[in-house]
């Protein structure tokens, strides 16, 4: 099993562990955090089952979402999580998602995590394309994607019945060459 480990200035992105349970449940049980997510608030038991089930998953399996811990290096505490899925039919295409605790938002952690995940996927794993699907009302995530160089590709109107109502979503994406251009890197 390939253990994913990404380190940034302030963060460790690593596999979730049962020792993360209290912090994981703290934000995964908050309706404001789950408002735009594809999951709903979790009980402690659901959070524990989720972490245990996730421990059997590994990066690189086509079509499988794998959730990773986002840990603050200074405190050693879980401050969020991120998910990576390689496309079922072409593992050079990836979809990602990020959740940051309500206690840690607006500190630049989501952007730092997102950029490090993009670097991992594009620079280390040779991914060609990264996609993110975002609720049309999730302004914080939309601004994050725009600020990191993602481009909007689609707007799906009332395409998903979500938490008791029809919701709309945007699809954003970035290609490897756009990632390279953004960083000013040009192949010879």
Kindly report the pTM of this predicted structure: 0.91
Residue 35: the pLDDT is 84
Residue 1 lies in a domain: no
- CATH number of the domain encompassing residue 78: 3.40.630.30
pLDDT, tens only, 13-38: 999 999 999 999 999 999 888 888 87
Residue 187 lies in a domain: no
Residue 183: the pLDDT is 78
Residue 34: the pLDDT is 82
* Count of domains observed in the chain: 1
Are the beta carbons of 72 and 10 closer than 8 angstroms? yes
Q: How far apart are CA 95 and CA 163, in angstroms?
A: 22
Are the beta carbons of 112 and 147 closer than 8 angstroms? no
Residue 83 lies in a domain: yes
Residue 11 lies in a domain: yes
- In which domain, by residue range, is 46 found? 6-182
Residue 163: the pLDDT is 81
> Residues in the chain with pLDDT < 50?
1, 188
Are the beta carbons of 92 and 53 closer than 8 angstroms? no
Residue 157 lies in a domain: yes
Residue 188 lies in a domain: no
Residue 188: the pLDDT is 41
Residue 187: the pLDDT is 52
Residue 84 lies in a domain: yes
């Amino acid at each position: 099993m390939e253990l994913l480990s990404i380190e940034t200035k302030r963060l460790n992105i690593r596999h979730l562990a049962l020792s993360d349970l209290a912090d994981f449940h703290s934000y995964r049980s908050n309706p404001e955090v789950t408002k735009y997510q594809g999951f709903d608030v979790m009980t402690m038991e659901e959070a524990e089952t989720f972490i245990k089930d996730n421990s059997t998953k590994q990066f690189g399996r086509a079509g499988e979402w794998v959730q990773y811990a986002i840990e603050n290096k200074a405190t050693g505490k879980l401050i969020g999580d991120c998910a990576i899925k390689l496309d079922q039919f072409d593992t050079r295409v990836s979809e990602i998602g990020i959740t940051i605790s309500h206690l840690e938002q607006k500190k630049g952690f989501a952007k730092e995590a997102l950029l490090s995940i993009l670097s991992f996927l594009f620079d280390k794993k040779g991914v060609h394309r990264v996609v993110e699907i975002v609720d049309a009302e999730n302004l914080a995530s939309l601004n994050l994607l725009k600020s990191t160089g993602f481009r909007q590709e689609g707007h799906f109107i009332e395409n998903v019945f979500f938490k008791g109502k029809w919701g709309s979503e945007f699809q954003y994406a970035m290609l490897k060459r756009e990632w390279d251009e953004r960083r000013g890197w040009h192949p010879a």
